[in-house]
Amino acid sequence: MKKTIALIFLVTFLLAFKATKDEEGIFPMSHLSKLDLKKAGLELEIDEIYNEKKPALVNALIRLGGCTGSFISDQGLIITNHHCVFSSVASASSSENNYLENGFYADTEEKEIKTSLPCKITQSYRDVSSEILSAIDEGVGAIEKKKLIKQSIDELTEKEQKLYPKLVVEISEMLVGKSYTLFRYKTLNDVRLVYVPPKNIGKFGGETDNWEWPRHNGDFSVVRAYEDGKPYKPESHLEVNPSGTKEGDFTFILGYPGRTYRNQTAQFLDYQNNYVLPVISDWFDYRIDAIHSFIGDDVDLQLSYSGRLASLSNVTKNFKGKMQGLRRTDVIGQTYLDQNKLLDFAKNNPEFNDYIPLFDKNKKLYARKFKLSRDYLYLNQFYGNGIFAGGAYVALHKDKMKEMSKSDKSLYLEENGEAIARQFKSYKGTEHKELLERTLFIELFYRLSQSTLPEMREIFTLKTIGREKSDIEAYALNIWNKSKLHDVYKSKALLENKPSKFFAIKGDLVNLGRDVNRVFGAMQREMEEVNAEIDAIIPRFNDLEMEFTGADFIPDANGTLRFTYGYIKGYEPEDAVVSSPFTTIKGILEKAEGSDNPDYYLQPEFIEKMKKIEPADVLRHPKNDAVVVGLLYNMDTTGGNSGSPIMDSKGRLVGVNFDRSYTATINDYAWNESYSRSIGVDIRYVLYVMKYFGEADEVLEEMGVFL
The answer to whether residue 393 is domain-embedded is: yes
CA distance 326 to 328: 6
CA distance 663 to 640: 18
Cβ(29)–Cβ(125) below 8 Å = yes
CA dist., res. 214 & res. 629, Å (int): 10
Looking at the domain assignment, is residue 454 inside a domain? yes
262, containing H or E segment:
none
Is residue 634 in a domain?
no
pLDDT, residue 424, reads: 56
Q: List residues bridging with 63 in a β-sheet.
A: 68, 120
- Cα 534 to Cα 531: distance, rounded to the nearest angstrom: 5
* Tally of domains in the chain: 1
Determine the residue type at 64: L
Q: 639-662 b/e with 16+ CB inside 10 Å = b?
A: bbbbbbbbbbbebbbbbbbbbbbb
Q: Is 669 helix (H, G, I), strand (E, B) or coil?
A: coil
Provide the CA 346 distance to its chain's centre, in angstroms.
36
Helices and strands per DSSP (H, E), number in the chain: 26, 21
The answer to whether 205 and 83 have CB atoms below 8 angstroms apart is: no
> Which residue from 115, 88, 108, 90 is spatially nearest to 100, judged by alpha carbons?
90
Which pTM value belongs to this model? Answer: 0.85
425: in domain: yes
Alpha helices in 483-601 (DSSP H): 488-497, 499-502, 508-549, 585-593
DSSP 538-551: HHHHHHHHHHHH-P
Determine the pLDDT at residue 427. 53
3-class DSSP state of 685 = helix
Predicted confidence at residue 18, as pLDDT, reads 34
Three-class SS of residue 247?
coil
Peptide bond just before 28 cis, omega within 30 deg: no
Residue ranges in the chain modelled with pLDDT below 70: 1-23, 416-432, 488
Q: What is the CA 20 to chain-centroid distance, rounded? A: 25
Report the C-alpha gap between 521 and 517 in whole angstroms. Answer: 6
CA distances from 129 to 135, 156, 260, 287 (A): 11, 11, 20, 42
Task: Report yes or no on 177 lying in a domain.
Answer: no
Distances (CA, A) of 666 to 100, 211, 332, 560: 31, 11, 11, 20
What separation, in Å, do the N-terminal and C-terminal C-alpha atoms of the chain show? 71
- b/e map of 388-398 (b: 16 or more CB within 10 Å)? bbbbbbbbbbb
Judge whether 492 and 427 are in contact, CB under 8 Å. yes
Domain limits for position 309: 266-324+362-539
Predicted local confidence at residue 10, as pLDDT: 36
Cβ-contact 162, 168 below 8 angstroms: no
Residue 274 resides in a domain: yes
Asked whether residue 72 is assigned to any structural domain, the reply reads: no
Q: Is residue 526 part of a domain?
A: yes
pLDDT at res. 12: 36
Distance from chain centroid for Cα 253: 17
Q: What does the pLDDT read at residue 138?
A: 78
Question: Cβ(488)–Cβ(385) under 8 Å?
Answer: no
Q: What is the pLDDT of residue 1?
A: 37
Residue 568 DSSP SS3: strand
Q: Do residues 197 and 102 lie in contact, with contact meaning Cβ atoms separated by under 8 Å?
A: no
